[in-house]
Structure 1
């Protein structure tokens, strides 16, 4: 097992963010990672130790509790350092049991407690760890600081593997830094991103001890800028942008009305803070009440406007323990900017057996990038879809095409606080619709479709996008944020049709369980498939799993295992299993199996001894839509599991449906899935 010891060169280098980013980066490589923060630091008795907390909650790791800093100081002061180190090594070995790599977070150098530097060295030695230094790239004399820290570890016989520069300014010169620090490898340069520091409006309210007048989306809106409304309204209007927190006295009715108008127009302001302990005028509040139903939070503070703005600027930058979303974004940003090859040196990968959720997401994006496919998005004026297309364009995940009016799309993007990249393609349906009439008439001539009927059907952007796919102008289609599943699938069945050898269209969800990724099918399309159809769904789901790096072991789920049960329902599953095995001898399929017999090794060995699937299934095929949909939602909600999908299978070309409650990230992953499907279908 490789052990990495993450050691900061000074205080406030972003140690927790970088350390957990390293964990995420290693998980992305399908490694089993352990994590431990041996000694808590900068923590009061009432606070949660954030590194361990986020490692448990986001990385799904079993992390031991950190030792209190006071306890460690006491042990060192009474010359019981050896006992302390033995306790730390035992804790670390427990955290790293069965792991390919163990990440250990060290202590900040603390002038008030000189034991911290000494203890970092002793912990690294005791764990036989490779040290990764973390430093603040914007600090003065940073190169000298890195060399001093490296020398301190090397003089004690500790191997220093590399350095990560965090908070790097735009003008950071990596080549000059390499020359300045000598032979020490640079394992990452993490650019400073102020958006990752944005607190929630709720965090600001707690910091100010402000009264919440209107809650709105207090826990969702984020503050990227504080606007003190001390000038005339035309000056204030220019700064009514997404993420702006407006600070104003409650008697500035002109500012209140301007803020309400911006909120009504869809601008995602962070909120409104009323100062001087003032209230909203009743008449103004009644007049603007619709604006305050858009999610705009309104707070009230005792201080004056400038004092309040100063206090807002002093909101702690550390990620609060309950802000999982922000820490996830921070970790992913760090992971994407690390030198993977450097981190992977010497790591033992023999223990890797399952595709972990972080590795699945990472490989999904990497495969989509290499596919470089064109994906049409018929709901091009929908806010989440626009944001997802921008992410895909900026990260090179796919070449997205938004169907919609450019002016409308740009206006929606502005309200979301994002900018349309020049390279992102927008196609106005009004300008292109006519050119698809003739091809559509040709495709549907057996149904007697006329040009007038075709033109009318093409007014539906999903139909228009499907025609683009049908004549190979694009490689895939993603829809469903504001359309039903039927609206998405029907045009595909009419114009794309099923793939050769397929008689039905089905779906799978990728269930991102804590330790591995499972495939559930069919949970979205076919209400009550026959035995023949169920066998086809099993094969489709197995090949989908294989395409995404999951070794398919297919369990045909029923209420009975093996020959123990009778009845029409279990007989259907038994017949489907026999058909699936006969048609796909190269696949590992077994059934009927109860869910516990398929998923729990001990139960599987007891109920189906000798089965190659029982207790180790990776693909679960449910007997009907009622069972499948209920099970996937129960697992998703009860176990807090992320599900990616549904991904449609069985079509000649990839078309995928979204949940109408889909988040931007959900749409991004679905676009990536679609791009990979397109690559596999070539």
Structure 2
């Protein structure tokens, strides 16, 4: 394999690699991109290898999000598909594949001085992620930023995760490991900022580049995202575009027994013909209990009389109200398939 182009010949590549899935890799890459952009850096985005979603076998959701939110070349021909990686591994021919990685990078960089790249996530379907990330970094002469998660039992656990990830790139002494970003600090059951800052993992060679606090509401899907997924009818739009869903409740109890489940951020599913439940939910919303939304279910519509009584409360509370003509069992299956990634 030919060596990586000299720095004078190409943009500086930065590869962001997560220590494990589910810790905000895409949002971190997006945040890093915009932070550099605000500093006046000519920054671009490129994902060398596509990684399919679990639910879809032909879409890389994170790449779609980042292409939508950045100045990047969206040519699919410049992204290597997983099948090609697997074939190269089977044939023990990764060097030739890395030639393609270099060519694609040079074609995709545009006029950027710095190109942020999202690394592959290690999953059961992508067991080669670690080796592929390592080879890409070597081929492009990329600097590497590790991303980890403060939701661990101890600082030692965080350090072990960083050690393992750093060793895959040759260890902390290698100059191309810039440092780490740690997400979800200060949340319930997570390390504090002070604990992270005092970790022995960070030093002059491997810096703590950033700590992101825990804000579950940011990662939570919006009501409008759920409405599009379910194909539900909008009865009252309310604050559908801004309210976020922290949890879901199938409302089947009497109002007195269900009061504990009428909590801020909750999406309430209830049969449309349960007048008592409808009134209890709208009263709760009007009282300042900032519910995410109300989804009326089943083939029967809500009573016009009761809906007219509730309408002023719903409008004043800006409560999104949807209707879905399906059963609770079917709803539970739809929720399981709900894509909770950042919407494109």
- TM-score with structure 2 length normalisation? 0.77
Correspondence for 1:376: none
CA contact (8 A) 1:210 1:301 kept: no
Distance 1:12 1:164 in 2: 14
Q: 1:120 Cα shift? A: 0.7
1:184-333 maps to which residues of 2 (within 5 A)? 184-205=206-227, 207=229, 209=230, 211-212=232-233, 214=235, 216-217=237-238, 218-233=240-255, 243-261=265-283, 269-275=291-297, 277-289=299-311, 296-300=320-324, 302-304=326-328, 312=335, 315-321=338-344
Distance 2:300 2:328 in 1: 10
Q: 1:107 Cα shift? A: 0.8
CA contact (8 A) 1:243 1:268 kept: yes
Distance 1:240 1:92 in 2: 51
Q: 1:53 aligns with which of 30, 50, 64?
A: 64
1:587-606 maps to which residues of 2 (within 5 A)? none
Distance change in 2, residues 1:311/1:245 (3 Å): same
Q: Match of 1:55, SS?
A: helix
Distance 1:68 1:126 in 2: 18
Distance change in 2, residues 1:69/1:300 (3 Å): same
Q: 1:128 Cα shift? A: 0.9
Q: 1:40 Cα shift? A: 1.1
CA contact (8 A) 2:44 2:109 kept: yes
Correspondence for 1:500: none
Q: 1:36 Cα shift? A: 0.4
CA contact (8 A) 1:55 1:63 kept: no
Distance 1:4 1:57 in 2: 20
Q: 1:132 Cα shift? A: 0.4
Q: 1:315 Cα shift? A: 3.9
Q: 1:161 aligns with which of 170, 178, 188?
A: 178
Q: Match of 2:276, SS?
A: helix
1:551-570 maps to which residues of 2 (within 5 A)? none
Deviations 1:635-655 (A, max 9, x none): xxxxxxxxxxxxxxxxxxxxx
Please state if 1:88 is matched with 2:101. yes
- TM-score with structure 1 length normalisation? 0.42
Distance 2:111 2:215 in 1: 35
CA contact (8 A) 1:37 1:51 kept: no
Distance 1:191 1:199 in 2: 18
Distance 2:178 2:256 in 1: 55
Correspondence for 1:75: 88
Number of residue pairs matched by the alignment: 318
Q: 1:14 aligns with which of 21, 24, 43?
A: 24
Q: Match of 2:49, SS?
A: coil
Distance 1:262 1:113 in 2: 46
Q: 1:173 Cα shift? A: 3.8
Distance 1:138 1:166 in 2: 8
Q: Match of 2:98, SS?
A: helix
Correspondence for 1:126: 139
| Structure 1 alignment gaps of length 5 or more | 322-682
Say what the alpha-carbon RMSD is for the aligned residues.
3.4
Distance change in 2, residues 1:113/1:273 (3 Å): closer
Distance 1:154 1:174 in 2: 27
Distance 2:313 2:193 in 1: 48
Q: Match of 2:165, SS?
A: helix
Deviations 1:274-309 (A, max 9, x none): 34554312432344455566663222353449x957
Q: 1:312 Cα shift? A: 4.5
| Structure 2 alignment gaps of length 5 or more | 1-10
Q: 1:145 aligns with which of 161, 186, 199?
A: 161
Distance change in 2, residues 1:231/1:61 (3 Å): same
More helix by proportion, 1 or 2? 1
Distance 1:79 1:69 in 2: 15
Distance change in 2, residues 1:295/1:231 (3 Å): closer
Q: Match of 1:31, SS?
A: coil
1:366-385 maps to which residues of 2 (within 5 A)? none
Correspondence for 1:181: 201
Higher-Rg member (1/2)? 1
Distance change in 2, residues 1:201/1:182 (3 Å): closer
CA contact (8 A) 1:273 1:300 kept: yes
Q: 1:200 Cα shift? A: 2.2
Distance 1:112 1:58 in 2: 27
